[in-house]
Structure 1
Amino acid sequence: MTVSDLEITYRGTVYPWHCDHMGHMNVMWYVGKFDEATWQLFATIGLTPAHLRERQRGMVAVDQRISYRREVHAGDVVVVRSGVMSTGTTSLRFCHVMEDAVSGEVCAVTAVTGVHIDTVARQAVPLPAEHLAAARERLTAFDPGL
Protein backbone atom coordinates (compact mmCIF):
# COMPACT_ATOMS: atom_id res chain seq x y z
CA MET A 1 0.00 0.00 0.00
CA THR A 2 1.39 3.39 -0.99
CA VAL A 3 0.44 6.97 -0.19
CA SER A 4 -1.15 7.38 -3.62
CA ASP A 5 -3.66 4.64 -2.72
CA LEU A 6 -5.14 6.88 -0.01
CA GLU A 7 -8.15 9.12 -0.70
CA ILE A 8 -7.55 12.86 -1.21
CA THR A 9 -9.36 14.71 1.55
CA TYR A 10 -7.80 18.18 1.34
CA ARG A 11 -6.13 20.50 -1.18
CA GLY A 12 -4.89 23.93 -0.28
CA THR A 13 -2.28 26.62 -0.46
CA VAL A 14 0.13 27.78 2.22
CA TYR A 15 -0.33 31.51 2.74
CA PRO A 16 2.22 33.90 4.28
CA TRP A 17 0.14 34.21 7.46
CA HIS A 18 0.51 30.43 7.95
CA CYS A 19 4.26 30.91 8.35
CA ASP A 20 6.20 31.63 11.52
CA HIS A 21 9.32 33.67 12.24
CA MET A 22 11.46 30.92 10.69
CA GLY A 23 9.69 31.23 7.34
CA HIS A 24 7.90 27.89 7.24
CA MET A 25 4.33 26.86 7.98
CA ASN A 26 3.71 26.88 11.72
CA VAL A 27 2.66 23.65 13.42
CA MET A 28 -0.83 24.99 14.18
CA TRP A 29 -1.56 25.15 10.44
CA TYR A 30 -0.47 21.55 9.85
CA VAL A 31 -2.96 20.52 12.51
CA GLY A 32 -5.62 22.80 10.99
CA LYS A 33 -5.21 21.33 7.51
CA PHE A 34 -5.25 17.81 8.94
CA ASP A 35 -8.44 18.71 10.84
CA GLU A 36 -10.13 19.84 7.61
CA ALA A 37 -9.10 16.53 6.04
CA THR A 38 -10.59 14.71 9.04
CA TRP A 39 -14.02 16.24 8.44
CA GLN A 40 -13.86 15.28 4.78
CA LEU A 41 -12.95 11.70 5.75
CA PHE A 42 -15.75 11.60 8.34
CA ALA A 43 -18.24 12.85 5.74
CA THR A 44 -17.38 9.91 3.47
CA ILE A 45 -18.56 7.54 6.20
CA GLY A 46 -21.65 9.57 7.11
CA LEU A 47 -20.34 11.37 10.18
CA THR A 48 -21.20 14.83 8.92
CA PRO A 49 -21.50 17.78 11.29
CA ALA A 50 -25.27 17.92 10.66
CA HIS A 51 -25.65 14.22 11.42
CA LEU A 52 -23.70 14.57 14.67
CA ARG A 53 -25.58 17.72 15.78
CA GLU A 54 -29.00 16.20 15.08
CA ARG A 55 -28.18 13.18 17.25
CA GLN A 56 -26.27 15.04 19.98
CA ARG A 57 -23.12 13.18 19.07
CA GLY A 58 -19.55 14.25 18.47
CA MET A 59 -16.12 12.97 17.61
CA VAL A 60 -13.25 13.84 19.90
CA ALA A 61 -9.55 13.29 19.33
CA VAL A 62 -8.00 11.39 22.21
CA ASP A 63 -4.57 10.81 20.65
CA GLN A 64 -2.72 12.48 17.78
CA ARG A 65 0.85 11.90 16.69
CA ILE A 66 2.54 14.00 14.03
CA SER A 67 5.82 13.62 12.23
CA TYR A 68 7.07 16.64 10.29
CA ARG A 69 9.10 15.41 7.33
CA ARG A 70 9.96 18.58 5.41
CA GLU A 71 9.29 22.29 5.60
CA VAL A 72 6.38 23.88 3.78
CA HIS A 73 6.60 27.53 2.71
CA ALA A 74 4.28 30.33 1.58
CA GLY A 75 3.02 29.62 -1.92
CA ASP A 76 3.35 25.84 -1.65
CA VAL A 77 0.30 23.81 -2.60
CA VAL A 78 -0.39 20.78 -0.44
CA VAL A 79 -2.59 17.71 -0.71
CA VAL A 80 -3.70 15.56 2.22
CA ARG A 81 -4.56 11.90 1.67
CA SER A 82 -6.37 9.92 4.35
CA GLY A 83 -7.32 6.42 5.37
CA VAL A 84 -8.90 4.52 8.24
CA MET A 85 -6.34 2.36 10.03
CA SER A 86 -8.65 0.54 12.44
CA THR A 87 -12.12 0.64 13.95
CA GLY A 88 -13.40 -0.12 17.43
CA THR A 89 -16.86 -0.11 18.93
CA THR A 90 -16.64 3.58 19.83
CA SER A 91 -13.48 4.67 18.03
CA LEU A 92 -11.69 5.15 14.74
CA ARG A 93 -7.95 5.31 14.19
CA PHE A 94 -7.04 7.09 10.98
CA CYS A 95 -4.09 8.69 9.28
CA HIS A 96 -3.36 11.67 7.06
CA VAL A 97 -0.38 12.22 4.80
CA MET A 98 0.41 15.77 3.66
CA GLU A 99 2.25 15.98 0.35
CA ASP A 100 3.68 18.77 -1.75
CA ALA A 101 1.17 18.82 -4.63
CA VAL A 102 3.90 19.52 -7.21
CA SER A 103 6.75 17.23 -6.15
CA GLY A 104 4.72 14.57 -4.33
CA GLU A 105 7.17 14.74 -1.42
CA VAL A 106 5.69 13.84 1.97
CA CYS A 107 5.70 16.92 4.21
CA ALA A 108 4.03 15.50 7.32
CA VAL A 109 2.07 12.50 8.56
CA THR A 110 -0.33 12.12 11.44
CA ALA A 111 -2.23 9.30 13.10
CA VAL A 112 -5.32 10.15 15.14
CA THR A 113 -7.63 8.20 17.40
CA GLY A 114 -11.13 9.66 17.52
CA VAL A 115 -13.88 8.58 19.89
CA HIS A 116 -17.63 8.87 19.22
CA ILE A 117 -19.35 10.56 22.17
CA ASP A 118 -22.75 11.56 23.45
CA THR A 119 -22.33 15.35 23.70
CA VAL A 120 -24.86 15.63 26.54
CA ALA A 121 -23.57 12.81 28.74
CA ARG A 122 -19.96 13.51 27.66
CA GLN A 123 -19.11 9.84 27.39
CA ALA A 124 -18.19 7.39 24.67
CA VAL A 125 -21.02 5.65 22.83
CA PRO A 126 -20.96 3.02 20.07
CA LEU A 127 -20.62 4.17 16.50
CA PRO A 128 -23.73 3.34 14.48
CA ALA A 129 -23.38 0.13 12.47
CA GLU A 130 -23.70 1.91 9.10
CA HIS A 131 -20.82 4.26 9.94
CA LEU A 132 -18.63 1.41 11.15
CA ALA A 133 -19.37 -0.48 7.94
CA ALA A 134 -18.47 2.56 5.83
CA ALA A 135 -15.27 3.09 7.83
CA ARG A 136 -14.30 -0.56 7.38
CA GLU A 137 -14.71 -0.14 3.62
CA ARG A 138 -11.96 2.49 3.83
CA LEU A 139 -9.55 0.44 5.91
CA THR A 140 -6.00 0.81 4.70
CA ALA A 141 -2.86 -1.21 5.25
CA PHE A 142 -0.82 1.99 4.85
CA ASP A 143 1.50 2.56 7.82
CA PRO A 144 2.40 6.21 8.48
CA GLY A 145 5.29 5.07 10.67
CA LEU A 146 4.06 6.61 13.90
Structure 2
Amino acid sequence: MTDSLLRLHTENVRPEWIDYNGHMNVAYYVLAFDHATDRLLDHAGLGAAYVKAENRSVFVLEMHVTYEREVRQGDPLAFGTRILGVDAKRVHLMHAMHHGTEGWLAATNELVLMHVDLGTRRSCPLPDAARLLLEGIGAAQSALPMPPQVGRVIGLGFRKPDHPPA
Protein backbone atom coordinates (compact mmCIF):
# COMPACT_ATOMS: atom_id res chain seq x y z
CA MET A 1 0.00 0.00 0.00
CA THR A 2 1.11 3.53 -0.68
CA ASP A 3 1.98 5.49 2.45
CA SER A 4 -0.01 8.51 1.25
CA LEU A 5 -3.28 6.61 1.53
CA LEU A 6 -5.29 7.05 4.71
CA ARG A 7 -5.08 3.89 6.78
CA LEU A 8 -8.05 4.09 9.06
CA HIS A 9 -9.48 0.56 9.12
CA THR A 10 -8.45 -3.06 9.53
CA GLU A 11 -10.46 -6.20 10.23
CA ASN A 12 -10.38 -9.95 9.66
CA VAL A 13 -12.61 -12.00 7.36
CA ARG A 14 -15.30 -13.44 9.62
CA PRO A 15 -16.54 -17.06 9.37
CA GLU A 16 -20.10 -15.91 8.56
CA TRP A 17 -18.77 -14.00 5.53
CA ILE A 18 -17.65 -17.19 3.76
CA ASP A 19 -19.82 -18.58 0.96
CA TYR A 20 -20.12 -22.04 -0.59
CA ASN A 21 -17.05 -21.31 -2.76
CA GLY A 22 -14.88 -21.16 0.36
CA HIS A 23 -14.10 -17.44 0.06
CA MET A 24 -15.61 -14.14 1.18
CA ASN A 25 -19.03 -13.55 -0.41
CA VAL A 26 -19.34 -10.44 -2.57
CA ALA A 27 -21.89 -8.84 -0.22
CA TYR A 28 -19.38 -8.88 2.62
CA TYR A 29 -16.76 -7.07 0.55
CA VAL A 30 -19.27 -4.22 0.38
CA LEU A 31 -19.89 -4.49 4.15
CA ALA A 32 -16.16 -4.39 4.91
CA PHE A 33 -15.77 -1.38 2.59
CA ASP A 34 -18.70 0.25 4.38
CA HIS A 35 -16.81 -0.17 7.65
CA ALA A 36 -13.85 1.62 6.03
CA THR A 37 -16.20 4.41 4.88
CA ASP A 38 -17.51 4.75 8.44
CA ARG A 39 -13.93 5.21 9.69
CA LEU A 40 -13.34 7.91 7.06
CA LEU A 41 -16.53 9.69 8.09
CA ASP A 42 -15.48 9.49 11.75
CA HIS A 43 -12.07 10.93 10.77
CA ALA A 44 -13.77 13.84 8.96
CA GLY A 45 -16.19 14.54 11.83
CA LEU A 46 -19.17 13.20 9.87
CA GLY A 47 -19.76 9.96 11.80
CA ALA A 48 -22.59 8.77 14.02
CA ALA A 49 -22.13 11.53 16.65
CA TYR A 50 -22.40 14.18 13.91
CA VAL A 51 -25.55 12.55 12.51
CA LYS A 52 -27.16 12.53 15.97
CA ALA A 53 -26.16 16.11 16.78
CA GLU A 54 -26.85 17.75 13.39
CA ASN A 55 -29.51 15.52 11.78
CA ARG A 56 -27.33 15.39 8.69
CA SER A 57 -25.51 12.47 7.16
CA VAL A 58 -23.78 11.11 4.09
CA PHE A 59 -25.46 8.82 1.57
CA VAL A 60 -23.81 6.77 -1.17
CA LEU A 61 -24.85 7.93 -4.65
CA GLU A 62 -22.82 5.43 -6.65
CA MET A 63 -20.48 2.54 -5.92
CA HIS A 64 -18.21 0.34 -8.01
CA VAL A 65 -16.42 -2.71 -6.60
CA THR A 66 -13.65 -4.65 -8.29
CA TYR A 67 -12.65 -8.09 -7.04
CA GLU A 68 -8.96 -8.57 -7.68
CA ARG A 69 -8.10 -11.62 -5.57
CA GLU A 70 -10.12 -13.81 -3.22
CA VAL A 71 -9.82 -13.63 0.55
CA ARG A 72 -10.69 -16.43 2.94
CA GLN A 73 -11.81 -16.93 6.50
CA GLY A 74 -9.47 -15.32 9.02
CA ASP A 75 -7.49 -13.31 6.47
CA PRO A 76 -6.46 -9.93 7.85
CA LEU A 77 -7.68 -6.98 5.78
CA ALA A 78 -6.12 -3.52 5.67
CA PHE A 79 -7.81 -0.62 3.92
CA GLY A 80 -6.22 2.40 2.27
CA THR A 81 -8.42 5.34 1.34
CA ARG A 82 -7.83 7.95 -1.32
CA ILE A 83 -9.84 11.13 -1.77
CA LEU A 84 -10.28 11.70 -5.51
CA GLY A 85 -12.43 14.81 -5.40
CA VAL A 86 -14.54 17.03 -3.17
CA ASP A 87 -17.10 19.69 -3.99
CA ALA A 88 -19.60 21.59 -1.84
CA LYS A 89 -21.85 18.56 -1.28
CA ARG A 90 -20.05 15.45 -2.57
CA VAL A 91 -16.96 13.35 -2.02
CA HIS A 92 -15.42 10.99 -4.61
CA LEU A 93 -13.14 8.40 -3.03
CA MET A 94 -11.63 4.99 -3.45
CA HIS A 95 -10.83 2.34 -0.88
CA ALA A 96 -8.25 -0.35 -1.59
CA MET A 97 -8.56 -3.59 0.38
CA HIS A 98 -5.23 -5.34 0.83
CA HIS A 99 -4.28 -8.56 2.54
CA GLY A 100 -3.14 -7.29 5.92
CA THR A 101 0.12 -9.23 6.18
CA GLU A 102 1.00 -10.19 2.60
CA GLY A 103 0.10 -6.80 1.10
CA TRP A 104 -1.56 -7.88 -2.16
CA LEU A 105 -4.61 -6.07 -3.48
CA ALA A 106 -7.85 -7.99 -2.86
CA ALA A 107 -10.49 -5.48 -3.99
CA THR A 108 -11.28 -1.83 -4.62
CA ASN A 109 -14.35 0.26 -3.88
CA GLU A 110 -14.96 3.55 -5.67
CA LEU A 111 -17.71 5.75 -4.21
CA VAL A 112 -19.44 9.06 -4.63
CA LEU A 113 -20.97 10.29 -1.37
CA MET A 114 -23.56 13.06 -0.94
CA HIS A 115 -24.09 15.12 2.21
CA VAL A 116 -27.79 15.10 3.14
CA ASP A 117 -30.10 16.96 5.53
CA LEU A 118 -32.07 14.13 7.13
CA GLY A 119 -35.02 16.43 7.90
CA THR A 120 -35.62 17.30 4.25
CA ARG A 121 -33.92 14.23 2.71
CA ARG A 122 -32.19 16.65 0.33
CA SER A 123 -28.56 17.35 -0.36
CA CYS A 124 -26.90 20.20 1.49
CA PRO A 125 -23.38 21.62 1.73
CA LEU A 126 -20.76 19.74 3.72
CA PRO A 127 -19.67 21.47 6.92
CA ASP A 128 -16.66 23.68 6.15
CA ALA A 129 -14.34 21.83 8.56
CA ALA A 130 -15.08 18.43 6.99
CA ARG A 131 -14.88 19.76 3.43
CA LEU A 132 -11.57 21.51 4.09
CA LEU A 133 -10.10 18.41 5.77
CA LEU A 134 -11.14 16.16 2.88
CA GLU A 135 -9.92 18.67 0.28
CA GLY A 136 -6.56 18.81 2.08
CA ILE A 137 -6.25 15.03 2.08
CA GLY A 138 -7.16 14.95 -1.61
CA ALA A 139 -4.56 17.63 -2.40
CA ALA A 140 -1.88 15.72 -0.47
CA GLN A 141 -2.75 12.56 -2.43
CA SER A 142 -3.07 14.23 -5.84
CA ALA A 143 0.47 13.34 -6.95
CA LEU A 144 -0.28 9.62 -6.62
CA PRO A 145 -0.89 7.79 -9.89
CA MET A 146 -4.57 7.31 -10.64
CA PRO A 147 -5.64 3.75 -9.78
CA PRO A 148 -6.61 1.86 -12.96
CA GLN A 149 -9.92 0.87 -11.36
CA VAL A 150 -11.16 4.49 -11.16
CA GLY A 151 -14.02 5.23 -13.53
CA ARG A 152 -14.13 1.77 -15.08
CA VAL A 153 -17.09 0.81 -17.22
CA ILE A 154 -18.59 -2.64 -16.88
CA GLY A 155 -19.34 -4.84 -19.88
CA LEU A 156 -18.06 -7.47 -22.27
CA GLY A 157 -15.90 -5.55 -24.72
CA PHE A 158 -18.03 -2.48 -24.07
CA ARG A 159 -17.34 0.58 -26.19
CA LYS A 160 -19.20 3.84 -26.15
CA PRO A 161 -20.98 4.25 -29.46
CA ASP A 162 -19.87 7.11 -31.69
CA HIS A 163 -23.50 8.13 -32.00
CA PRO A 164 -26.80 7.04 -30.44
CA PRO A 165 -28.62 4.10 -32.01
CA ALA A 166 -31.25 5.00 -34.62
TM-score, normalised to structure 2, is: 0.83
Whole-angstrom CA distance in 2 between matches of 1:31 and 1:4: 23
Structure 1 unaligned residues grouped into runs of 5+? none
Whole-angstrom CA distance in 1 between matches of 2:125 and 2:16: 40
**Aligned structure 1 segments of 4 or more residues deviating by more than 3 angstroms:** none
Tell me the residue number matched to 2:67: 68
Quote how far apart the aligned CAs of 1:121 are.
0.5
Q: How does 1:1-146 map to 2 (within 5 A)?
A: 3-139=2-138, 140-141=141-142, 142=144, 143-144=146-147, 145-146=149-150
Quote how far apart the aligned CAs of 1:5 are.
2.2
Task: For residues 43-96 of structure 1, give each alpha carbon's deviation from its aligned partner in whole angstroms, at most 9, with x where no partner exists.
Answer: 211112111221110100000011100000112111011121100111111110
Q: How many residues align?
A: 145
Whole-angstrom CA distance in 2 between matches of 1:16 and 1:47: 30
- Greater share of residues in strand: 1
Percentage of identical aligned residues: 26
One-letter amino acid matched to 2:103: G
Q: Secondary structure at the match of 1:85?
A: strand
Whole-angstrom CA distance in 1 between matches of 2:105 and 2:41: 22
Q: Secondary structure at the match of 2:111?
A: strand
Whole-angstrom CA distance in 2 between matches of 1:75 and 1:123: 40
TM-score, normalised to structure 1, is: 0.93
